Chains A and B, each alone.
Chain A
Amino acid sequence: MKLITAIIREEMLDQVREALIAAKIERITVCRVSGHGNQKTERVYRGTKVIPNLIPKVRMDIAVNDPLVEITCDTIIDAAGGENPEIGAGKIFITNLEGCIRIRTREQGEQAM
């Protein structure tokens, strides 16, 4: 079992989500986060260009069984990068999962995913 944490551009959320659903990865958690990266996004406030030092991003957490890790990551990369991925397209972190329990049934491990 792996936990896939993807940090992507917020405007790519719809595309990534649609692509994941098409790939039958339907259990995801999404939150809005802010962070530092190499990307510099200009914004305009009162006629002055400002480069915010914390850039809003979307973070997706997807827990999957091992056979699905590759397809999940590929789907996210294809959808979030677009045709010509630019700086700021995001990152994916993969971590080992110790366990998983479904609250309703108390199922554990891979079948709870």
Chain B
Amino acid sequence: MRKRKTFVSLATFVAVMSVHLTALAEQTKPVDSGATSWMLTSTALVLLMIPGLAMFYGGLVRTKNVMGTMMHSFAAMGIMSVLWVICGYAMSFGSNILGGWFGWNPDYFMLAGIDETIMDAGVPEYVFAMFQGKFAIITPALIAGAFAERVAFKGYCLFIALWGTLVYNPLCHWVWAEDGFLFNMGAAGAIDFAGGTVVHISAGVSGLIAAIILGARRGHPEASMQPNNLVMTMMGAGLLWVGWFGFNAGSSITSGLSTAQALTATQAAAASGALIWLILEGWHQGKATGLGFASGILAGLVAVTPAAGVVKPGGALALGALAAVICYLGISVKNRLGYDDTLDVFGIHGLGGIVGAIFLTFFIRDSWMAEAAAAAGRSWSVTDQLMVQLSAVGIAIVYAGIVTAGIVFLVDKTVGLRASDDEEMSGLDPSYHGERGYGMLNAG
């Protein structure tokens, strides 16, 4: 997601320059209606992932928690959108302050200064800001799966507001803003096309830390806790796959060749991830489950997220398959370790994101490596880039882990993050929402 520089077409560049020379009026940049319309579509597609996630998670919990779990995703749409407009965009895409911890730009406060701005890519800045805002919504919503079925609603709301501000915004700034230090690491930056580190590793690691600090659900692991509605989970997984085209292909911030490359890689990785998971499960357990297929889709999609801009379809197939294998093993290990990452946020998003961000290095297309070598002014090897990727992954893990631990501790000691025993036993729905998910009569 190179914000402004990389994907400016030559034509736009010439047009912009000539306008600059004659009028010096920066508001008269031409709008590229092709790019803008795809970005508008992508923005809507990424938003669609959040109800998709609500359905995916909602179907996997017990009946008494279905509304509470879906509300975790929907509440993020409210809280994170408001915060993003007020200060999230300014913190993520403003210029470095406080030594580059995050950014700030007074013009972006309340998005007041971008009312008429057209970006160099020919896209109104409002579209870019809203597109990015969707990522800020889905990332904390992903974490909710790790501590599903046992958090208080009020505490959760405060947690995601703090997490979005103190973890997401700085990470987003480091990786995607022009002056972010990970954006400029090595020859051509740490590669994170659409959010492997920013979204998936940060959510996965934070979920793991929060799940460990808050402790397991009552009765885990002896009591069997069955999904209330796998049909809804499958529909949610389908919506996530569809929405991911906006997530990845939209991250090109254009509508052209790089969009097509990202789109193809996305489809290839999702399909190979799902297929490999199904084969593994069939071989290991003797049954090919629907939830397994859905998990494989997600593992593949997560792994290709950082890589979609730089790998060819063959590489995407390999990444999807590798992610499915590693996530499958990771979840088996989790079951032995006994911690309660309820919906496998770390197992899928954490591990999948790490696999994608590291192993993409071996599948980068030659033209990207040539550009990197040119930028470095020397030869740029796979090992050089691997070091950059490992550093970026390590920084994301350490930063997200430490700050999340602090936030969980703070929220739990103040308004309370862990549900009380009674509330947990009654279920999130009656305890915090006064509702039931399914019919009032004889709810299944």
Contacts and interface: CB of A to CB of B under 8 A. Distances in A.
A32 interface: yes
Interface string B419-444: 00000011100100111100011111
Nearest to B421: A15
B218 to A, nearest CB: 8
A14 B441 contact: no
Interface string A35-55: 000000011110000001010
- Of the four ranges (under 10, 10 to 19, 20 to 34, 35 or more), the interface on chain B belongs to 10 to 19
A98 interface: no
A10 B426 CA distance: 8
A11 interface: yes
B427 A14 contact: no
Given A11-B425, A14-B219, A32 B434 contact: no
A30 interface: no
Contacts of A65: none
Interface in A1-48: 10-12, 14-15, 32-34, 42-45
Contacts of B444: 32
A88 interface: no
B425 A54 contact: no
Contact of B442 (A12, A14, A34, A45): A34
A33 B441 CA distance: 8
Contacts of B435: 43-45
A14 B425 contact: yes
A21 to B, nearest CB: 10
Contacts of B433: 44
Contacts of A11: 64, 425-427, 430
B223 interface: yes
Given A11-B425, A43-B435, A43-B436, A32 B430 contact: no
Given A14-B223, A43-B435, A45-B435, A52 B440 contact: yes
Given A11-B425, A45-B435, A54 B440 contact: yes
Contacts of A10: 64
B428 to A, nearest CB: 11
Contacts of A45: 435
B443 A32 contact: yes
29 contacts: A10-B64, A11-B64, A11-B425, A11-B426, A11-B427, A12-B425, A14-B425, A15-B425, A32-B442, A32-B443, A32-B444, A33-B442, A34-B440, A34-B441, A34-B442, A42-B434, A43-B434, A43-B435, A43-B436, A43-B440, A44-B433, A44-B435, A45-B435, A54-B441, A56-B436, A56-B440, A56-B441, A56-B442, A56-B443
Interface of B: 64, 218-219, 223, 425-427, 430, 433-436, 440-444
Given A11-B64, A42-B434, 7 more contacts: A33-B442, A34-B440, A34-B441, A43-B434, A44-B434, A52-B440, A56-B436
Interface of A: 10-12, 14-15, 32-34, 42-45, 52, 54, 56
